[in-house]
Chain A
Amino acid sequence: MVYKTSKLYLEDFNYENLLNKFHFKIKKCLKAAPYQEREDLEQEIKIKIFEKLNLLNEIDCPGFYQYLDK
């Protein structure tokens, strides 16, 4: 499976890298869920992240001086 979105101008943040980065965070959240639900929850979380990926890649970033002036 290849996940590619058109507007990725920060190469580092493609879907797989993000999932790797958040692997342990997801696992930690799974511990709170009942045993039978963990697999489903993990999948749901990953789908959710994928859905939000486009939104995240369109975040408006201020430049350094813009941020200072804010």
Chain B
Amino acid sequence: MSDEINNFFLCNKEKLDDPLIRNFLKESSNYNLLLTALQEPSHENQANLDQAFKKHYKEVKIISYISKLIHFFAIDYDKKVNLYYERNILSIDSQPDSIGFYEGEKSDDKFYWEGYEFKGELLDLVTTKSLFNALKKLPNKQIAILDLKYNKDLNNKEIARVLKESEQSISYHHKKSLRRLKELIQVD
């Protein structure tokens, strides 16, 4: 019986590496469905597998579609608004220096977060207990990166500049800390 399973995995090795299928099988309930369908290839078992896969497929497609939709729609909307203001200039708009709308803390010429030091601001914002405990177990550097990224809303490049490290290492530590957090929360 296990020969069949091995055979199946060998034959479809390439397809099983496809991210869609890989993530589908990561879920243990789905994986078990596949195993039962292989061991006892009855109509019902295969239908169950198909159903679960369809659901997963649809979920992935919808999520990717909508997140792209939101992203590009926001960009288009911004362009539209800019065009509108370009064509309909109010004379009051031409003196921005004297009025000065609040532009956020990230002005490029004088980098606001230079000399940043992590003092636990992120921990103050967390309301979930398991997340809080997990965060406390992270090394200081990783939690500083998380703070800069999610609390101060900087991107990798800016974080690299603040912490005086390379962008790659920031990206690596960011991913690593997320993975670690996930593990710690699941243990709880």
Identify the interface centre among A41, A45, A61: most chain B CB within 10 Å of its CB.
Answer: A61
Partner of B78, one of A33, A63, A68: A33
Which residues, 31 to 62 on A, are CB-close (under 8 Å) to B?
31-35, 37, 41, 44-45, 48-49, 52, 56, 59, 61-62
User: How many residues in B have their beta carbons less than 8 Å from beta carbons of A?
Assistant: 32
Interface of B is mostly: helix
Are B53 and A64 in touch, CB under 8 angstroms?
yes
Assess whether B172 is interfacial by the CB under 8 Å rule.
Answer: no
Stretch in B69-77, B107-115, B120-128 touching the partner: B69-77
Known: A45-B70, A45-B73. A65 touches B50 (CB 8 A): yes
Interface residues as binary, A6-24 with B (CB distance below 8 Å gives 1, 0 otherwise):
0000101100001001100
Assess whether A25 is interfacial by the CB under 8 Å rule.
Answer: yes
Q: In the bound complex, what is the Cα–Cα distance between A29 and B66 (angstroms)?
A: 13
Are B15 and A49 in touch, CB under 8 angstroms?
no
Are B46 and A65 in touch, CB under 8 angstroms?
yes
Are A35 and B101 in touch, CB under 8 angstroms?
yes
For residue B50, which residues in chain A have a CB less than 8 angstroms away from its CB?
63-65
Assess whether B67 is interfacial by the CB under 8 Å rule.
Answer: yes
Identify the interface centre among B55, B61, B62, B66: most chain A CB within 10 Å of its CB.
Answer: B66
Assess whether A67 is interfacial by the CB under 8 Å rule.
Answer: yes
Are A68 and B12 in touch, CB under 8 angstroms?
yes
The contact sample of 9 A-B pairs, CB cut-off 8 A, is A18-B66, A21-B63, A33-B81, A45-B73, A59-B62, A61-B53, A61-B58, A64-B49, A64-B50
Residues of B within 8 A of A (CB): 12, 15, 20-21, 34, 46, 49-50, 52-55, 57-59, 61-63, 65-67, 69-71, 73-74, 77-78, 81, 101-102, 153
Residues of A within 8 A of B (CB): 10, 12-13, 18, 21-22, 25-26, 29-35, 37, 41, 44-45, 48-49, 52, 56, 59, 61-65, 67-68
Q: Which 5 pairs show the lowest CB-CB distances between chains A and B? A: A63-B50, A29-B74, A64-B53, A61-B54, A61-B57
